[in-house]
Chain A
Amino acid sequence: MTNSRKHRVLPGFGLSLGFALVYLSLLVLLPLAGLVAHGVHMSFADFWATATTPRTLASYRVTFGCALLAALVNAFFGLIVAWVLVRYDFPGKRFIDALVDLPFALPTAVAGITLTTLYANTGWVGSLLVPLGIQIAFKPAGIVVALIFIGIPFVVRTVQPVIEDIEQEIEEAAATLGATRWQTFRRVLFPALAPALLTGFTLAFSRAIGEYGSVIFIAGNMPMVSEITPLMIISKLEQYDTQGAIVLALVMLVISFVLLLAINLLQWYAANRHTQRHSERKPA
């Protein structure tokens, strides 16, 4: 309690904190609490029944499965893109670097209709894949494509600064000790990049779970096959089934929060492993 009584030199603490708290509470916290309150009023049996119909279970599978797949693809390619952007020089690099943020800037609806047109059987990419027997638009594969687009910047932008910060000496040290380039990457560089890669993966994954705008155009929205949970919430609302919408919204919220929490803990562990583990021991 002694700290909070400390004399403050700078003005505006009460005003700024007060405004920030009121704004955040009215806009974010109270509405979220409202949703939870609605859920609490339901009987557990009702809740469980609505949350686990075959169609909703299928929608969870589609939503989380596609988001996971897209985030994995993004983690793989995002790492390569970040590496190429930091380490190699080629003409137009600055332009391409700026382009990576396009998914942050381009409205999701635009991405949705564009990707659908591209990957439809008559589109530039789709028409190339049809002869190979691959169909992407209006299939779960289409959802993955849309979610990959949405998630690209997350991995690249979290990994890029970490690659920039790697000291050249670390790699030189590995080389003088006889490590091949691949051994250096696998044993020295990758472990250093892994926490950032995990963060980027998490961000891309959690964004993909909630994504709606870019997915609905390309998904085909077939119940049990390519229907995502956010779309089910909307269709329940349109059928005035508010209760059903609330149940699905709560399930999504809980799963996203648990995932975020789990991965945050994992990251915290990864970040502190090398400094905390032996700190309790005294030097002999």
Chain B
Amino acid sequence: MTPRRVNTESWPVRLLLCVLALGFLFFFLGLPLLSVFVEAFKQGFGPYFEALCDADTRSAITLTLVIAVMVLPLNILFGLSAAWAIARFDFRGKSLLITLIDLPFAVSPVVAGLLFILIFGRQGFLGDWLGAHDIKIIFALPGMVLATMFVTVPYIARELIPLMQAQGRDEEEAAVSLGASGLQMFWRVTLPNIKWGLLYGVILANARAMGEFGAVSVVSGHIRGMTNTLPLHVEILYNEYNSVGAFAAASVLALLALVTLVAKTIVEWRMAREIAMLSADLSIENPAVAAKS
């Protein structure tokens, strides 16, 4: 019969809110996730694995991996460069640059694909020149890589910029004053400090790169076994009423999504732990530093 705590709702309200929240998540997240696997295994394991071993599906998986492998290193390099310049130096137009990095989030993926057709397509700016030299970008791998790069530009930079701004430049300045070269400073001081944030950005960028549909769809040309990524292949199979095939391919992507979520959760946990450890250390040794940061 103790009075209820000040900062909480009465139990009927709590129950109502829980039911609303969990019901909403169940209908919009839980059920779809469950149904991917149910649909994929509807006719048993045999047809499922048969569908997965289909040559076109296998080549779609390969192409998806190839694109991700080509896109990620460039985006990592961009993310590191942009974050280094923005978080470690003061220059004019910095906030404009931060806004521009987010620009691809505001552009529809379909429009993103269109942008590259306008440049490299047959009637595009460079269309004639590319045709004369027999270089194929649209409806080929380079176009798909470009489109994927476009939509994944912000992910890594967005994680690194606030992280590095929060960490400040003291440690790197100390390293340089102790005689470290730029590369030594980067490998020994900067990278260890940002590795979890970087990994977090890479995980998100990778999920988007492997799952991108709209932008890649516009520039792919949908040539089976050639320019078909796994998400595009899902569409083709689905439109051919090959439900098991479509959901088998979809289940691979859903599995990838689950792996992404697990990896993301682990990295978040590690980051939180590291931050807690670092701030605890600092506040014991030097309260002034901890308070300032």
* Chain A residues engaging chain B, CB cutoff 8 angstroms: 3-4, 8-13, 15-17, 19-21, 23-24, 27-29, 31-32, 34-35, 38, 77, 80-81, 83-85, 87-88, 90, 94, 96, 98-111, 113-115, 117-118, 123-125, 145, 148-149, 152, 168, 171-172, 175, 181, 206-207, 209-213, 217, 230-231, 233-234, 237, 242, 245-246, 249, 252-253, 256-257, 260
Contacts and interface: CB of A to CB of B under 8 A. Distances in A.
Contacts of A145: 28
B232 to A, nearest CB: 7
A24 B78 contact: yes
A149 B111 contact: no
Interface in B152-194: 153, 169, 172-173, 176-177, 182, 185
B115 A114 contact: no
Interface stretch (B31-39, B48-56, B281-289): B31-39
A31 B153 CA distance: 14
Contacts of B265: 94, 98
Contact of B111 (A24, A99, A104, A252): A252
A90 B25 CA distance: 15
A104 B172 CA distance: 34
Interface residues of B, number: 99
B214 A4 contact: no
Given A105-B207, A212-B109, A114 B231 contact: no
- The dominant DSSP class at the B interface is helix
B213 A213 contact: yes
B108 A230 contact: yes
Contact of B18 (A29, A88, A125, A175): A88
Contacts of B32: 111, 114-115, 118, 149
Interface in B202-232: 204, 207-208, 210-214, 217-218, 230-232
Given A10-B88, A77-B24, A99-B261, A110 B115 contact: no
For the residues of A in contact with B, the DSSP-based class is helix
B153 A28 contact: yes
B280 interface: no
